[in-house]
Amino acid sequence: MNKEKNIIPENFLWGGAVASNQLEGGYLADGKGLSAVDILPAGDNRQIYLENPPSLELQDEFFYPSHNAIDFYNHYKEDIAMFAEMGFKCFRLSIAWVRIFPNGNDKEPNEAGLQFYDAIFDECKKHNIEPLVTLQHFDTPLELCKQYGGWRSREVIGFFENYCKVVFERYKDKVKYWLTFNEINMVLHAPFIGAGITVKDGENPLQVQYLAAHHQLVASALATKACHEIIPDAKIGCMLASGTTYPYTANPDDFFHALTRDRQAYFFTDVQSRGYYPTYTKRFFEENNIDIGITEEDKAILQTHVVDFVSFSYYSSKCTTTDEEVWKHNSDTNFMRSVRNPYLQYTDWDWSIDPVGLRITMNQIYDRYQKPLFVVENGLGAIDELDENNCVDDQYRIDYFREHLKQMKEAIRDGVELLGYTSWGPIDLVSAGSGQMSKRYGFIYVDRDNDGNGTYARYKKKSFDWYKEVIATNGAEL
Protein backbone atom coordinates (compact mmCIF):
# COMPACT_ATOMS: atom_id res chain seq x y z
CA MET A 1 0.00 0.00 0.00
CA ASN A 2 1.21 3.46 -0.83
CA LYS A 3 2.30 5.08 2.43
CA GLU A 4 1.56 8.55 1.01
CA LYS A 5 -2.14 7.80 0.86
CA ASN A 6 -2.46 7.50 4.61
CA ILE A 7 -0.75 10.71 5.63
CA ILE A 8 -3.92 12.77 5.40
CA PRO A 9 -6.76 11.47 7.57
CA GLU A 10 -9.75 10.01 5.79
CA ASN A 11 -12.36 12.52 6.95
CA PHE A 12 -10.10 15.48 6.18
CA LEU A 13 -12.07 18.65 5.36
CA TRP A 14 -10.79 19.87 1.99
CA GLY A 15 -12.39 22.99 0.60
CA GLY A 16 -12.28 26.73 0.17
CA ALA A 17 -12.87 29.83 2.28
CA VAL A 18 -14.63 33.14 1.69
CA ALA A 19 -16.00 36.10 3.64
CA SER A 20 -19.49 37.49 3.10
CA ASN A 21 -18.42 41.04 2.33
CA GLN A 22 -15.85 39.97 -0.23
CA LEU A 23 -18.20 37.98 -2.43
CA GLU A 24 -21.90 38.36 -1.65
CA GLY A 25 -22.73 41.84 -2.90
CA GLY A 26 -26.41 42.55 -2.26
CA TYR A 27 -25.28 45.16 0.22
CA LEU A 28 -28.78 46.47 0.89
CA ALA A 29 -30.71 43.39 -0.17
CA ASP A 30 -33.57 42.09 1.97
CA GLY A 31 -33.07 44.52 4.81
CA LYS A 32 -29.30 44.22 5.28
CA GLY A 33 -27.63 47.00 7.26
CA LEU A 34 -24.20 48.50 6.58
CA SER A 35 -21.08 47.21 8.26
CA ALA A 36 -17.55 48.53 8.67
CA VAL A 37 -16.37 46.92 5.42
CA ASP A 38 -19.16 48.57 3.42
CA ILE A 39 -17.48 51.96 3.82
CA LEU A 40 -14.04 50.80 2.62
CA PRO A 41 -13.32 52.39 -0.75
CA ALA A 42 -11.27 50.88 -3.54
CA GLY A 43 -8.11 52.70 -4.49
CA ASP A 44 -5.48 54.73 -2.67
CA ASN A 45 -7.76 55.77 0.18
CA ARG A 46 -8.41 52.23 1.26
CA GLN A 47 -5.42 51.84 3.55
CA ILE A 48 -6.37 54.79 5.72
CA TYR A 49 -9.93 53.50 5.99
CA LEU A 50 -8.74 50.05 7.02
CA GLU A 51 -6.80 51.60 9.83
CA ASN A 52 -8.59 54.73 10.96
CA PRO A 53 -11.30 56.15 8.67
CA PRO A 54 -11.73 59.95 8.67
CA SER A 55 -15.49 59.52 8.19
CA LEU A 56 -18.03 56.74 8.72
CA GLU A 57 -20.38 58.00 5.98
CA LEU A 58 -20.48 56.80 2.37
CA GLN A 59 -18.92 59.34 -0.03
CA ASP A 60 -20.22 59.93 -3.57
CA GLU A 61 -16.76 60.03 -5.10
CA PHE A 62 -15.68 56.59 -3.89
CA PHE A 63 -16.25 53.16 -5.39
CA TYR A 64 -17.11 50.50 -2.82
CA PRO A 65 -16.22 47.03 -4.08
CA SER A 66 -18.14 45.18 -1.34
CA HIS A 67 -21.47 46.59 -2.51
CA ASN A 68 -21.75 44.21 -5.44
CA ALA A 69 -18.58 42.14 -5.05
CA ILE A 70 -19.02 39.06 -7.27
CA ASP A 71 -22.78 38.91 -6.65
CA PHE A 72 -22.66 35.57 -4.88
CA TYR A 73 -25.99 36.71 -3.44
CA ASN A 74 -27.55 35.78 -6.76
CA HIS A 75 -25.02 33.19 -7.97
CA TYR A 76 -24.59 30.99 -4.90
CA LYS A 77 -26.26 27.91 -6.38
CA GLU A 78 -24.01 27.94 -9.43
CA ASP A 79 -20.93 28.65 -7.29
CA ILE A 80 -21.59 25.95 -4.71
CA ALA A 81 -22.24 23.51 -7.57
CA MET A 82 -18.78 24.33 -8.94
CA PHE A 83 -17.23 23.78 -5.50
CA ALA A 84 -19.02 20.43 -5.39
CA GLU A 85 -17.61 19.60 -8.82
CA MET A 86 -14.14 20.11 -7.37
CA GLY A 87 -15.12 17.67 -4.64
CA PHE A 88 -15.23 20.13 -1.72
CA LYS A 89 -15.94 18.48 1.60
CA CYS A 90 -16.08 21.84 3.35
CA PHE A 91 -17.00 25.45 2.54
CA ARG A 92 -15.87 28.16 4.91
CA LEU A 93 -18.06 31.25 4.75
CA SER A 94 -19.05 34.02 7.12
CA ILE A 95 -22.46 35.20 8.21
CA ALA A 96 -22.91 38.95 7.88
CA TRP A 97 -24.11 40.05 11.32
CA VAL A 98 -25.91 42.99 9.61
CA ARG A 99 -28.03 40.67 7.47
CA ILE A 100 -29.40 39.23 10.71
CA PHE A 101 -29.36 42.41 12.83
CA PRO A 102 -29.13 45.42 10.47
CA ASN A 103 -28.09 47.77 13.29
CA GLY A 104 -26.24 45.15 15.28
CA ASN A 105 -28.55 45.37 18.29
CA ASP A 106 -32.11 45.28 16.89
CA LYS A 107 -34.78 43.67 19.07
CA GLU A 108 -35.79 41.08 16.49
CA PRO A 109 -33.66 39.37 13.86
CA ASN A 110 -34.30 40.01 10.17
CA GLU A 111 -36.06 36.89 8.86
CA ALA A 112 -35.01 37.51 5.24
CA GLY A 113 -31.35 37.54 6.28
CA LEU A 114 -31.75 34.31 8.20
CA GLN A 115 -33.40 32.72 5.18
CA PHE A 116 -30.51 33.64 2.92
CA TYR A 117 -28.07 31.57 5.00
CA ASP A 118 -30.65 28.78 5.36
CA ALA A 119 -30.67 28.58 1.58
CA ILE A 120 -26.87 28.48 1.43
CA PHE A 121 -26.58 25.75 4.06
CA ASP A 122 -29.29 23.73 2.31
CA GLU A 123 -27.37 24.05 -0.93
CA CYS A 124 -24.21 22.81 0.83
CA LYS A 125 -26.12 19.89 2.30
CA LYS A 126 -27.41 18.96 -1.14
CA HIS A 127 -23.79 18.53 -2.23
CA ASN A 128 -22.56 16.94 1.01
CA ILE A 129 -20.45 19.97 1.81
CA GLU A 130 -19.85 20.74 5.48
CA PRO A 131 -20.19 24.46 6.22
CA LEU A 132 -17.57 26.09 8.45
CA VAL A 133 -18.98 29.42 9.57
CA THR A 134 -17.14 32.50 10.77
CA LEU A 135 -19.28 34.65 13.06
CA GLN A 136 -17.44 37.90 12.37
CA HIS A 137 -15.18 38.56 9.41
CA PHE A 138 -14.19 42.25 9.49
CA ASP A 139 -17.83 43.36 9.49
CA THR A 140 -18.75 45.11 12.74
CA PRO A 141 -22.19 46.67 12.22
CA LEU A 142 -21.65 50.30 11.20
CA GLU A 143 -24.30 51.56 13.60
CA LEU A 144 -22.35 50.03 16.47
CA CYS A 145 -19.21 51.79 15.21
CA LYS A 146 -21.09 55.09 15.19
CA GLN A 147 -22.96 54.75 18.46
CA TYR A 148 -20.54 52.76 20.56
CA GLY A 149 -17.14 53.20 18.93
CA GLY A 150 -17.21 49.56 17.83
CA TRP A 151 -15.49 46.99 20.02
CA ARG A 152 -14.02 49.63 22.32
CA SER A 153 -17.35 49.43 24.17
CA ARG A 154 -18.18 46.62 26.50
CA GLU A 155 -21.86 46.79 25.46
CA VAL A 156 -20.95 45.34 22.08
CA ILE A 157 -20.10 42.04 23.78
CA GLY A 158 -23.75 41.53 24.70
CA PHE A 159 -25.00 42.44 21.21
CA PHE A 160 -22.58 39.94 19.68
CA GLU A 161 -23.55 37.24 22.16
CA ASN A 162 -27.20 37.75 21.28
CA TYR A 163 -26.47 37.53 17.53
CA CYS A 164 -24.48 34.33 18.11
CA LYS A 165 -27.27 32.72 20.12
CA VAL A 166 -29.78 33.55 17.39
CA VAL A 167 -27.68 31.97 14.64
CA PHE A 168 -26.74 28.94 16.75
CA GLU A 169 -30.43 28.29 17.48
CA ARG A 170 -31.41 28.80 13.88
CA TYR A 171 -28.68 26.71 12.25
CA LYS A 172 -27.98 24.13 14.96
CA ASP A 173 -28.99 21.24 12.72
CA LYS A 174 -27.11 22.58 9.70
CA VAL A 175 -23.76 23.88 10.95
CA LYS A 176 -21.36 21.90 13.14
CA TYR A 177 -18.12 23.86 12.65
CA TRP A 178 -17.81 27.47 13.78
CA LEU A 179 -15.16 30.17 14.13
CA THR A 180 -15.54 33.22 16.36
CA PHE A 181 -13.50 36.17 15.00
CA ASN A 182 -11.61 36.07 11.72
CA GLU A 183 -7.93 36.98 12.22
CA ILE A 184 -8.61 38.29 15.71
CA ASN A 185 -5.11 39.82 15.81
CA MET A 186 -6.05 42.15 12.91
CA VAL A 187 -7.15 44.73 15.50
CA LEU A 188 -3.43 45.46 15.94
CA HIS A 189 -2.73 45.96 12.22
CA ALA A 190 -5.97 47.33 10.75
CA PRO A 191 -7.99 48.46 13.78
CA PHE A 192 -11.07 49.58 11.88
CA ILE A 193 -11.71 46.37 9.97
CA GLY A 194 -10.52 44.32 12.91
CA ALA A 195 -12.76 45.87 15.53
CA GLY A 196 -14.73 48.80 14.10
CA ILE A 197 -12.70 51.26 16.16
CA THR A 198 -11.41 54.68 15.27
CA VAL A 199 -8.66 56.26 17.33
CA LYS A 200 -8.98 59.95 18.18
CA ASP A 201 -6.15 62.47 18.36
CA GLY A 202 -4.44 62.34 21.71
CA GLU A 203 -5.54 58.80 22.48
CA ASN A 204 -3.08 56.01 23.13
CA PRO A 205 -3.80 53.73 20.14
CA LEU A 206 -2.52 50.64 21.95
CA GLN A 207 -4.88 51.28 24.84
CA VAL A 208 -7.87 51.41 22.48
CA GLN A 209 -6.69 48.40 20.46
CA TYR A 210 -6.12 46.15 23.46
CA LEU A 211 -9.35 47.26 25.10
CA ALA A 212 -11.23 46.27 21.93
CA ALA A 213 -9.20 43.06 21.77
CA HIS A 214 -10.17 42.21 25.34
CA HIS A 215 -13.83 42.74 24.55
CA GLN A 216 -13.53 40.49 21.51
CA LEU A 217 -11.77 37.82 23.57
CA VAL A 218 -14.54 37.84 26.17
CA ALA A 219 -17.13 37.82 23.36
CA SER A 220 -15.31 34.91 21.73
CA ALA A 221 -15.47 32.95 24.99
CA LEU A 222 -19.17 33.73 25.39
CA ALA A 223 -19.81 32.60 21.81
CA THR A 224 -17.91 29.41 22.61
CA LYS A 225 -20.09 28.90 25.69
CA ALA A 226 -23.32 29.47 23.74
CA CYS A 227 -22.19 27.18 20.94
CA HIS A 228 -21.38 24.35 23.35
CA GLU A 229 -24.74 24.79 25.11
CA ILE A 230 -26.92 25.12 22.02
CA ILE A 231 -25.10 22.69 19.68
CA PRO A 232 -23.38 20.14 21.91
CA ASP A 233 -22.01 18.17 18.95
CA ALA A 234 -20.46 21.24 17.29
CA LYS A 235 -16.82 22.29 17.34
CA ILE A 236 -15.86 25.95 17.64
CA GLY A 237 -12.43 27.43 17.01
CA CYS A 238 -10.46 30.66 17.12
CA MET A 239 -8.79 32.16 14.04
CA LEU A 240 -5.39 33.83 13.80
CA ALA A 241 -3.55 35.64 11.00
CA SER A 242 -0.42 33.54 11.34
CA GLY A 243 3.02 33.39 9.79
CA THR A 244 6.12 32.75 11.81
CA THR A 245 8.67 35.53 12.30
CA TYR A 246 12.34 34.87 11.56
CA PRO A 247 15.24 36.83 13.02
CA TYR A 248 17.08 38.58 10.18
CA THR A 249 20.42 37.58 11.72
CA ALA A 250 21.67 35.23 14.43
CA ASN A 251 22.10 38.25 16.70
CA PRO A 252 20.24 37.35 19.93
CA ASP A 253 18.55 40.77 19.85
CA ASP A 254 17.03 39.90 16.49
CA PHE A 255 15.91 36.56 17.84
CA PHE A 256 14.17 38.14 20.81
CA HIS A 257 12.53 40.68 18.54
CA ALA A 258 11.15 37.87 16.41
CA LEU A 259 9.86 36.09 19.49
CA THR A 260 8.19 39.29 20.65
CA ARG A 261 6.45 39.75 17.33
CA ASP A 262 5.18 36.19 17.37
CA ARG A 263 3.88 36.72 20.89
CA GLN A 264 1.97 39.76 19.64
CA ALA A 265 -0.07 37.35 17.53
CA TYR A 266 -0.09 34.32 19.85
CA PHE A 267 -1.35 36.52 22.69
CA PHE A 268 -4.85 36.14 21.22
CA THR A 269 -4.82 32.39 20.75
CA ASP A 270 -3.07 31.97 24.11
CA VAL A 271 -6.14 33.49 25.76
CA GLN A 272 -8.67 31.69 23.54
CA SER A 273 -7.01 28.31 23.77
CA ARG A 274 -5.55 28.30 27.31
CA GLY A 275 -8.15 30.48 29.00
CA TYR A 276 -6.01 33.16 30.63
CA TYR A 277 -3.80 36.15 29.87
CA PRO A 278 -0.19 35.03 29.40
CA THR A 279 2.24 36.44 31.97
CA TYR A 280 4.23 38.33 29.31
CA THR A 281 1.32 40.73 28.82
CA LYS A 282 1.79 42.22 32.32
CA ARG A 283 5.08 43.89 31.45
CA PHE A 284 3.91 44.88 27.98
CA PHE A 285 0.77 46.53 29.34
CA GLU A 286 2.71 48.36 32.08
CA GLU A 287 5.34 49.68 29.70
CA ASN A 288 2.75 50.87 27.20
CA ASN A 289 0.23 52.37 29.63
CA ILE A 290 -2.46 49.88 28.74
CA ASP A 291 -5.23 49.27 31.25
CA ILE A 292 -8.05 47.11 29.99
CA GLY A 293 -10.05 46.72 33.19
CA ILE A 294 -10.24 42.95 33.19
CA THR A 295 -12.82 41.82 35.80
CA GLU A 296 -13.01 38.66 37.87
CA GLU A 297 -16.07 37.71 35.86
CA ASP A 298 -14.10 38.14 32.60
CA LYS A 299 -11.38 35.90 33.96
CA ALA A 300 -13.88 33.19 34.85
CA ILE A 301 -15.52 33.37 31.41
CA LEU A 302 -12.16 33.16 29.60
CA GLN A 303 -11.02 30.29 31.78
CA THR A 304 -14.16 28.20 31.40
CA HIS A 305 -14.87 28.52 27.68
CA VAL A 306 -11.81 27.71 25.63
CA VAL A 307 -11.92 26.76 21.98
CA ASP A 308 -12.00 23.22 20.61
CA PHE A 309 -9.53 23.84 17.82
CA VAL A 310 -7.18 26.52 16.52
CA SER A 311 -7.54 27.78 12.97
CA PHE A 312 -5.40 30.24 11.10
CA SER A 313 -4.65 31.93 7.81
CA TYR A 314 -1.19 31.46 6.39
CA TYR A 315 0.12 33.37 3.38
CA SER A 316 3.66 34.42 4.28
CA SER A 317 6.27 34.35 6.94
CA LYS A 318 7.80 37.49 8.42
CA CYS A 319 11.31 38.55 9.16
CA THR A 320 12.49 41.14 11.65
CA THR A 321 15.52 42.89 13.09
CA THR A 322 16.45 45.57 15.61
CA ASP A 323 18.75 47.18 13.02
CA GLU A 324 16.97 50.32 11.79
CA GLU A 325 19.23 50.56 8.73
CA VAL A 326 17.95 47.22 7.45
CA TRP A 327 14.35 48.37 7.86
CA LYS A 328 15.08 51.57 5.97
CA HIS A 329 16.60 49.89 2.96
CA ASN A 330 15.18 46.42 2.90
CA SER A 331 11.58 46.08 3.99
CA ASP A 332 8.72 44.72 1.92
CA THR A 333 5.41 46.48 1.39
CA ASN A 334 3.26 43.77 2.92
CA PHE A 335 0.48 44.75 5.21
CA MET A 336 2.18 43.20 8.23
CA ARG A 337 5.56 44.82 7.84
CA SER A 338 8.53 42.58 7.34
CA VAL A 339 12.16 42.80 6.41
CA ARG A 340 12.80 41.29 2.98
CA ASN A 341 13.96 37.71 3.39
CA PRO A 342 16.80 36.95 0.94
CA TYR A 343 15.91 33.25 0.87
CA LEU A 344 12.37 33.78 -0.42
CA GLN A 345 10.53 34.75 -3.59
CA TYR A 346 7.85 37.44 -3.50
CA THR A 347 4.39 37.68 -5.09
CA ASP A 348 3.11 40.47 -7.35
CA TRP A 349 1.87 42.10 -4.14
CA ASP A 350 5.22 41.71 -2.39
CA TRP A 351 4.12 38.94 -0.01
CA SER A 352 6.82 36.38 0.66
CA ILE A 353 6.25 32.84 -0.58
CA ASP A 354 7.38 30.42 2.10
CA PRO A 355 5.99 26.88 2.07
CA VAL A 356 8.40 25.67 4.77
CA GLY A 357 7.12 28.55 6.88
CA LEU A 358 3.73 26.82 6.88
CA ARG A 359 5.31 23.68 8.35
CA ILE A 360 7.13 25.75 10.96
CA THR A 361 4.00 27.72 11.86
CA MET A 362 1.90 24.57 12.20
CA ASN A 363 4.48 22.97 14.45
CA GLN A 364 4.79 26.10 16.59
CA ILE A 365 1.06 26.44 17.09
CA TYR A 366 0.59 22.75 17.80
CA ASP A 367 3.49 22.72 20.28
CA ARG A 368 1.86 25.66 22.04
CA TYR A 369 -1.68 24.30 22.41
CA GLN A 370 -1.85 20.59 21.52
CA LYS A 371 -5.25 21.15 20.03
CA PRO A 372 -6.36 20.19 16.54
CA LEU A 373 -5.49 22.79 13.92
CA PHE A 374 -7.37 23.89 10.82
CA VAL A 375 -5.72 25.75 7.92
CA VAL A 376 -8.63 27.99 6.95
CA GLU A 377 -6.84 30.33 4.52
CA ASN A 378 -3.86 29.90 2.23
CA GLY A 379 -3.41 30.92 -1.36
CA LEU A 380 -1.79 33.11 -3.97
CA GLY A 381 -3.15 36.50 -5.02
CA ALA A 382 -1.96 37.03 -8.59
CA ILE A 383 -2.75 38.75 -11.88
CA ASP A 384 -4.60 36.26 -14.07
CA GLU A 385 -5.23 36.65 -17.78
CA LEU A 386 -8.19 34.97 -19.41
CA ASP A 387 -7.09 33.32 -22.69
CA GLU A 388 -9.05 32.85 -25.93
CA ASN A 389 -10.60 29.66 -24.56
CA ASN A 390 -11.85 31.45 -21.45
CA CYS A 391 -9.31 29.62 -19.34
CA VAL A 392 -6.42 30.88 -17.21
CA ASP A 393 -3.12 29.04 -17.35
CA ASP A 394 -2.33 29.59 -13.67
CA GLN A 395 0.52 27.12 -13.28
CA TYR A 396 2.08 29.58 -10.78
CA ARG A 397 -0.94 29.05 -8.51
CA ILE A 398 -0.70 25.27 -8.82
CA ASP A 399 3.01 25.50 -7.92
CA TYR A 400 2.21 27.65 -4.88
CA PHE A 401 -0.42 25.23 -3.61
CA ARG A 402 1.62 22.13 -4.36
CA GLU A 403 4.59 23.35 -2.33
CA HIS A 404 2.40 24.45 0.58
CA LEU A 405 0.44 21.21 0.63
CA LYS A 406 3.69 19.22 0.60
CA GLN A 407 4.80 21.10 3.70
CA MET A 408 1.38 20.68 5.28
CA LYS A 409 1.82 16.94 4.87
CA GLU A 410 5.27 17.18 6.45
CA ALA A 411 3.68 18.91 9.44
CA ILE A 412 1.17 16.08 9.75
CA ARG A 413 4.10 13.64 9.68
CA ASP A 414 5.70 15.76 12.40
CA GLY A 415 2.69 14.91 14.56
CA VAL A 416 0.37 17.85 14.04
CA GLU A 417 -3.32 16.98 14.25
CA LEU A 418 -5.12 18.72 11.39
CA LEU A 419 -8.86 18.87 10.75
CA GLY A 420 -8.82 20.35 7.29
CA TYR A 421 -7.57 22.80 4.69
CA THR A 422 -9.63 25.49 2.99
CA SER A 423 -7.86 27.58 0.36
CA TRP A 424 -8.57 31.30 0.37
CA GLY A 425 -10.95 32.54 -2.33
CA PRO A 426 -11.66 29.37 -4.34
CA ILE A 427 -13.58 31.75 -6.57
CA ASP A 428 -12.10 35.19 -7.37
CA LEU A 429 -13.37 37.81 -4.93
CA VAL A 430 -12.61 41.30 -3.67
CA SER A 431 -9.25 41.66 -1.94
CA ALA A 432 -9.66 42.72 1.68
CA GLY A 433 -6.40 44.63 1.82
CA SER A 434 -6.40 46.36 -1.55
CA GLY A 435 -10.07 46.32 -2.58
CA GLN A 436 -8.98 45.07 -6.00
CA MET A 437 -10.58 42.35 -8.10
CA SER A 438 -7.30 42.01 -9.98
CA LYS A 439 -5.67 40.33 -6.97
CA ARG A 440 -7.16 36.96 -7.81
CA TYR A 441 -7.00 33.82 -5.67
CA GLY A 442 -9.54 31.54 -7.32
CA PHE A 443 -9.70 28.23 -9.11
CA ILE A 444 -12.67 29.95 -10.74
CA TYR A 445 -12.25 33.21 -12.65
CA VAL A 446 -14.93 35.89 -12.33
CA ASP A 447 -15.44 38.47 -15.07
CA ARG A 448 -15.37 41.60 -12.95
CA ASP A 449 -12.72 44.33 -12.82
CA ASN A 450 -11.41 46.84 -10.28
CA ASP A 451 -13.89 49.49 -11.37
CA GLY A 452 -16.95 47.28 -11.20
CA ASN A 453 -17.20 46.39 -14.91
CA GLY A 454 -17.84 42.87 -16.13
CA THR A 455 -20.55 40.27 -16.61
CA TYR A 456 -19.97 38.21 -13.43
CA ALA A 457 -19.49 35.17 -15.69
CA ARG A 458 -17.53 32.33 -14.06
CA TYR A 459 -14.77 30.36 -15.84
CA LYS A 460 -12.64 27.45 -14.66
CA LYS A 461 -8.91 28.05 -14.47
CA LYS A 462 -6.29 25.36 -15.02
CA SER A 463 -5.96 25.00 -11.23
CA PHE A 464 -9.63 23.91 -11.02
CA ASP A 465 -8.92 20.43 -12.32
CA TRP A 466 -5.69 20.24 -10.39
CA TYR A 467 -7.39 20.93 -7.03
CA LYS A 468 -10.16 18.51 -7.95
CA GLU A 469 -7.55 15.78 -8.37
CA VAL A 470 -5.88 16.70 -5.07
CA ILE A 471 -9.16 16.27 -3.24
CA ALA A 472 -10.10 13.11 -5.15
CA THR A 473 -6.83 11.47 -4.05
CA ASN A 474 -7.06 12.95 -0.54
CA GLY A 475 -3.82 14.80 -1.14
CA ALA A 476 -1.82 11.83 -2.39
CA GLU A 477 -1.51 13.40 -5.86
CA LEU A 478 -0.19 16.95 -5.69
- Tell the smallest beta-carbon distance from residue 431 to ligand P53 (Å): 4
Question: Which of 51, 85 has the CB closer to ligand P53?
Answer: 51
Minimum distance from CB of 297 to ligand P53 (Å)?
A: 31
Report the site for ligand P53 in 165-194 (rule: CB under 6 A): 182-183
Query: Which amino acid, 221?
Result: A
CB closer to ligand P53, 76 vs 192: 192
Residue closer to ligand P53, measured from CB, 335 or 466: 335
Residue of 98, 124, 376, 421 whose CA lies nearest to 237 = 376
Tell which one of 8, 13, 19, 42 touches ligand P53 (CB under 6 A). Answer: 19
Residue 93 found at the interface with ligand P53 (CB under 6 A): no
Number of residues that bind ligand P53 (CB under 6 A): 16
Number of CB atoms found within 10 A of residue 6's CB = 11
Q: How far is the CB of 136 from ligand P53 (least distance, A)?
A: 11
23 lies in the site for ligand P53, by CB under 6 A:
no
Nearer to ligand P53, 120 or 186 (CB): 186
Residue sitting closest to ligand P53 (CB) = 433
Closer residue to ligand P53, CB minimum distance, 369 or 424: 424
Q: How far is the CB of 429 from ligand P53 (least distance, A)?
A: 7
Cα-based distances in Å from 282 to 66, 182, 369? 39, 25, 21
User: Which of residues 110 and 180 has its CB atom nearest to ligand P53 in the complex?
Assistant: 180
Which residues are known to be catalytic?
A: 183, 377
Sole binder of ligand P53 in the list 15, 194, 381, 426 (CB under 6 A): 381
The secondary structure of the chain, three-state, reads CCHHHHCCCCCCEEEEECCHHHHCCCCCHHHCCCEHHHHCCCCCCHHHHHHCCCCCCCCCCCCCHHHCCCCHHHHHHHHHHHHHHCCCCEEEEECCHHHHCCCCCCCCCCHHHHHHHHHHHHHHHHCCCEEEEEEECCCCEHHHHHHHCHHHCCHHHHHHHHHHHHHHHHHCCCCCEEEEECCHHHHHCCHHHHHCCCCCCCCCHHHHHHHHHHHHHHHHHHHHHHHHHHCCCCEEEEEEECCCEEECCCCHHHHHHHHHHHHHHHHHHHHHHHCCCCCHHHHHHHHCCCCCCCCHHHHHHHHHCCCCEEEEECCCCEEECCCHHHHHHCECCCCCCCECCCCCEECCCCCEECHHHHHHHHHHHHHHHCCCEEEEECCCCECCCCCCCCCCCCHHHHHHHHHHHHHHHHHHHCCCCEEEEEEECCECCCCCCCCCCCCECCCEEECCCCCCCCCCCEEECHHHHHHHHHHHCCCCCC
CB of 467 to ligand P53, least distance (A): 18
Q: Which listed residue (171, 246, 315, 466) binds ligand P53 by CB under 6 A?
A: 315
Contact map string, positions 327 to 366, toward ligand P53, x by CB under 6 A: --------x-------------------------------
| Nearer residue to ligand P53 within complex by CB, 317 or 474 | 317
Q: How far is the CB of 169 from ligand P53 (least distance, A)?
A: 27
Residues 239-298 that bind ligand P53 (CB under 6 A): 241
Alpha-carbon separation of residue 221 from 305, 311, 315, 376 (angstroms):
5, 15, 27, 20
CB of 436 vs ligand P53, minimal distance in Å: 8
- Binding map of ligand P53 across residues 403-442, x = CB under 6 A, - = no contact: ---------------------x------xxxx----x---
| Closest distance of CB 19 from ligand P53, Å | 5
- Give 36 or 231: the residue with its C-beta nearer to ligand P53: 36
Query: Which residues inside 123-162 make contact with ligand P53, applying CB under 6 A?
Result: none
| Residue 377 touching ligand P53 (CB under 6 A) | yes
Is 43 near ligand P53 (CB under 6 A)? no
> What does the binding site for ligand P53 look like in residue numbers (CB under 6 A)?
19, 22, 182-183, 241, 313, 315, 335, 377, 381, 424, 431-434, 439
